[in-house]
Amino acid sequence: MYEIIRTNDAVLLSFAESLLKDAGIPCMIADQAMSILEGSLGMLPRRLLVAEEQAEEARKLLIDAGLADELRDEGE
């Protein structure tokens, strides 16, 4: 899996996940259960993951949607 976004912003994650799913790109949000451990403070970021073979397509889609600043660098 390839990490495409890491953020604490639940709305951003939901929007990005919706865009990817509507485009037929499977994705998952990792670390959602960490909020239980942290007491729902929102300090620990969640990660949006896609399959490596679809990472470039996902990046292009999210850039076109105006989320370029939210994307992880390809080398990270």
E strands, 12-63, in order: 27-30, 46-50
Domains of the chain: which residue ranges? Answer: 2-70
pLDDT of residue 22: 97
What is the identity of the amino acid at 16? A
Does the pTM of the predicted model rise above 0.95? no
Residues of the chain with pLDDT under 70: 35-42, 75-76
| Domain 2-70 superfamily per CATH | UreE, C-terminal domain (3.30.70.790)
- pLDDT averaged over the chain? 88
CA–CA distances in Å: residue 6 to residues 42, 44, 46: 12, 10, 6
